[in-house]
Structure 1
């Protein structure tokens, strides 16, 4: 049985999930966990005889986590479509991520490195693993003319919700006595707990509004898995037969390596290279997020007037300049300006990329597998970007050269995107791109 498209309650529920899981992306991966990790973990240490810096260890942890989920995604997304389990897997990964956040409360010093690494890694897997199923709901609950606006609404809801929680966390860190907390260290660890509870609470409220899984008959998990792989390979053949889709995904892979690596490691860069305190970093991230709310809607407006390609292209130019500016930045004041620029294009590039890809999908029957390609490429881009960042940091001892290297990913993305064009301009996509 097919549910109604463009139902307000369903679309609002979908956007609410962004409100839920974005708390992890903001509070833990961006604002609080990286500088906390840099504080409690030795600057240089060895594991199995191999030397690491704390920043390279964290970057390698991100790389390995996303490699794991990239390997699992084809199987899981195929099973979700073949077995009608899209919502089920979204709930599973949300639960894993939320519990992982709660476990970080016990990460206190170098002796807990394994716990902190494992908890952070599981949180990343829960967050990233759920996104393929979350994104795949977009073409299922809305018509193409709603994609841009609904996608932007999801990102905006995520920014608003995560900012509200981050404000609470900032108050906890700056004034722990207001909350009966003995010190800032305890307040930081309790912030991890608030993220887990927030993610689980609002995630399950969102689930109550999303369409129920339509379970399909199968002979068991082996049969469903086989069908999932067959469906995934079928989608891959169709993607290969569509030059516009291949070109877009190639550009997306390249610039996502830069975008996601900057988002993950910018606060660690600020703490290690510029001496930012945790409370200062939270304030920087708050500015970044507030700007990003407008940035997501600005990108949708530019797309409506000039087309998706133009909207993405101008943002890539700004991202390229951000990497160059980051290499030369010295003072905290200048870094605030760079952070504001990141906020302007952070939400927009992700929102436009998601809605552009949705317009390239020719069917609504196996959209999870289609979005699996999208998400796998993004995860592999994170693996590549963070691995190169970590390797250069380990070799040179400076994060600046690593940041400069990320500009290459944006330049390559612009080159690949230059000849990209949506297959046709329709009433649902009337804008004409400035770049053709």
Structure 2
């Protein structure tokens, strides 16, 4: 059964379609329309853009940074145990469904956020983030089960490319709604933004039905129905000891942790930076993110080609060096055209580094294991903790110094540390067990 799944183009294409389904959340909710909308409905309510949240006063953009940190901290705490349960019981698909529906329904709930109910907006944005991040853990774990190691890079790139294409299509529609609300029979741009949250949730849940119907439910034929919590704990404990023994994997995860602190923080807070530091209007911010998404499609395949020719390590080193330059450049960006140029460079390495990181880790998983969700939980926990610390430190530096430019510049330090660990990694071309 497993060999037929690995050879199935239908399964591989269906797997990649989940990127198409869920990436609209990442683009519309976390990167563009929601942060811009959030800033617009919370700006100026109190001096220094402070807002009241459950009785506490805090700067609106700092609150948004902290909410992202909290959501990924939750996933970092629960995903290892859930991954162990999924591996022990063969229920990865069920877990993907649960988190996907949690995220998509939370996006729908954001339609009712109008600024007067701040707690509602923050809580459902956190739940949407948990749904997105939780589903990715189990989605990524399918990669080594549906293709061979020599095709990891290209299939991973295909997933990210489909995600970028689908999210761009929906974002263009949403942007037209915001620019011309009357044409869509909407009251104003604010209502159009809220309607975009509703559409995002429906898109995510709707297109998820493709992978949900095609992905194998239990490729290894596991059938554990009782003592899931205990078995899940034992499963993740076993994989933890295995991970500790692999020095290559440990060094790669250390590198991934530090450069992900920079990559993910840029993804989540780029629009906020453009709004607050440059005063760019919402349509220009969304255009900036569109540039990033479109260039990222080419970037995913370009760096997959570089990795095929020169190896994953060289490709990753090049991208991390470019990211260091981006952080330095962000400090000196003052005009919209400079911001667009920087966005072009971000897009070039954004898709490449995400795609290649996922496929590189897949190559480091022992080929004899069936515990892919548990292995990928360590990868995803590393990424989630990086997001927690990256967005949290970004918010703290802004709060202390009063400028997001200092926050952006500090991200360069994370990339340099990640580069140091990356230079110590010897990455095999096809898989851990084929390494000489």
For Structure 1 versus Structure 2, the TM-score category normalised by the shorter chain is over 0.9
Contact (CA 8 Å) 1:305, 1:431: kept in 2 or not? no
2:233 is the counterpart of 1:232: no
Task: After TM superposition, list the pairs within 5 Å mapping 1:389-408 onto structure 2.
Answer: 389-408=394-413
Task: After TM superposition, list the pairs within 5 Å mapping 1:415-426 onto structure 2.
Answer: 415-422=420-427, 424-425=428-429
Q: Which residue of 2 aligns with 1:160?
A: 165
Distance 1:304 1:412 in 2: 25
Q: Which residue of 2 aligns with 1:149?
A: 154
2:98 is the counterpart of 1:92: yes
Q: Which residue of 1 aligns with 2:140?
A: 135
Query: How much does 1:216 deviate?
Result: 3.6
Q: Which residue of 1 aligns with 2:218?
A: 213
| DSSP 3-state at the match of 1:211 | coil
Deviations 1:88-110, CA, capped at 9 Å, x for gaps? 0000000000000001111111x
Deviations 1:23-82, CA, capped at 9 Å, x for gaps? 000111001111111110141134466441111000000000000011010111001000
Distance 1:7 1:292 in 2: 27
TM normalised by structure 1 equals 0.95
| DSSP 3-state at the match of 1:52 | strand
Aligned residues: 428
| DSSP 3-state at the match of 2:58 | strand
Contact (CA 8 Å) 1:61, 1:117: kept in 2 or not? yes
Distance 2:117 2:58 in 1: 16
Q: Which residue of 1 aligns with 2:77?
A: 71
Distance 2:234 2:302 in 1: 40
Q: Say if 1:425 and 1:336 are closer, same or farther in 2 by CA, change over 3 A.
A: closer
Distance 2:51 2:380 in 1: 33
Distance 1:131 1:285 in 2: 22
Q: Say if 1:161 and 1:426 are closer, same or farther in 2 by CA, change over 3 A.
A: closer
Which of 117, 125, 130 is matched with 1:125 structurally?
130
Distance 2:146 2:431 in 1: 19
2:252 is the counterpart of 1:279: no
Mean CA deviation greater in 388-397 or 97-106: 388-397
Mean CA deviation greater in 397-406 or 18-27: 397-406
* Gap regions ≥5 residues in structure 1: none
Distance 1:95 1:199 in 2: 8
Q: Say if 1:219 and 1:18 are closer, same or farther in 2 by CA, change over 3 A.
A: closer
| DSSP 3-state at the match of 1:406 | helix
> How much is the aligned-residue C-alpha RMSD, in angstroms?
1.8
Contact (CA 8 Å) 1:18, 1:155: kept in 2 or not? yes
| DSSP 3-state at the match of 1:208 | helix
Q: Say if 1:154 and 1:344 are closer, same or farther in 2 by CA, change over 3 A.
A: same
Runs of 4+ in 1 over 2 A off after TM superposition: 1-4, 45-51, 213-220, 424-432
Contact (CA 8 Å) 1:144, 1:428: kept in 2 or not? no
Which of 162, 184, 191 is matched with 1:179 structurally?
184
Contact (CA 8 Å) 1:320, 1:410: kept in 2 or not? yes
Query: How much does 1:403 deviate?
Result: 0.9
Query: How much does 1:217 deviate?
Result: 3.7
Distance 2:10 2:197 in 1: 30
